[in-house]
Structure 1
Amino acid sequence: MDKIKKPKWWDEFTVFAIKGNAMALAVGTIIGAAFSTITKSLTDDIIMPIVSVFIGGVDFSEMKLELPRLFAEKYDDAGNIIKNTLNYGNFISAVINFLILALVVFFIVKGLNKITELGKKKEEEAKAEEPAKEPEPTKEELLLTEIRDLLKEK
């Protein structure tokens, strides 16, 4: 039975998807999503209540602007009018959430860069401390040395 011929790009793709960048990207995305929920909770449950104390106890999730209806009103299952609102308080909360996330990522990248710089500096120091080795003599130099030694013996 003949094997099914794989396209040339298939091997390259499998290396990329399984061993390379795709796995790192997937792990980063999963961790980022988990971290995003943590920062959202930090923003909504800790920072925004503290900020609302300084602006008179306003709950950002309650900050909205009711927009007029141009057509017939809509009702929910209980018979209440569904209001059309512009929820700018949620937007403010999302912006603060983004700023916190961006700040944390900035410090992580800054820390990783610092660690990388320290590693490179240690490598350079280790190379500088090694005594410089004399280069190996060439074949011609070895031959000339042998000739010299033979001449000395005579």
Structure 2
Amino acid sequence: MAKNSGFVAEFKQFIARGNVLDMAVGVIIGGAFGKISTSLVNDIIMPAVSMLTGGVDFSQWKIVLKQAVVENGEEIAAAVSINYGSFLSTILDFLIIAFAVFCLIRAINKFHRKKEEAAPPAPPEPSAEEKLLTEIRDLLKASR
């Protein structure tokens, strides 16, 4: 039972760290941003692309490999197709998210570099008088 309590205690310590909470918040925000990006691609960019391509719904572009088989009004075999328009929309969605993450990381790195560059300056070199007084102090301590 001692192993479990050690494992459980270690797990509790891990969960209590701020990094885990930060990561959880990042995942939630990332999921929400993914929805925004998907909406941007599907609702704004793709209609504009469709307009440029003569009104073709870009996300519906596909190569049909096999037509659906219908008998007596019932579909007995489904159609098979390669939906490359949907795939291209997903790639565009990924590129938008990747670009946003790149910009975020770049900004964070720039902030950290400025913080490192703004390190406090080294203390000034002591004056000749301060050096002499330091020597006198050291000699007085040594003579005691």
TM-score w.r.t. the length of structure 2 is 0.75
Query: Does residue 67 of structure 2 align to residue 99 of structure 1?
Result: no
- For structure 2, the residue ranges without an aligned partner over 5 or more in a row are none
Deviation of 1:147 after TM superposition, in Å, equals 6.0
**1:43 aligned to 2:38?**
no
Look up the match of 1:8.
6
Q: CA deviation at 1:34?
A: 0.3
Larger radius of gyration: 1
Q: Percent identity?
A: 37
RMSD: 3.1
Q: 1:131 aligns with which of 98, 103, 124?
A: 124
CA 1:132–1:7 in 2, change beyond 3 Å: closer, same or farther?
farther
Flag structure 1 segments of 5+ consecutive residues without an equivalent.
none
8 Å CA contact 2:69–2:75 kept in 1: the answer is no
Correspondence 1:63-102 to 2 at 5 A: 63-68=61-66, 73=69, 79=74, 82-102=78-98
Secondary structure of 1:7's counterpart equals: helix
Q: Distance in 1 between matches of 2:70 and 2:13?
A: 54
Offset at 1:15? 1.5
Structure 2: how far apart are the matches of 1:88 and 1:147? 86
Q: State the match for 2:140 in structure 1.
A: 145
Question: How far did 1:112 drift?
Answer: 0.5
Question: Which residue of 16, 20, 42 corresponds with 1:18?
Answer: 16
Deviations along 1:63-88, one digit per CA (max 9) or x if unpaired, are 1122226xx9478xx74574222211
**C-alpha distance in 1 between matches for 2:142 and 2:95:** 77
In structure 2, distance between residues paired with 1:8 and 1:22: 19
More strand as a share of residues: 2
- Give the deviation of 1:105 after TM superposition: 0.5
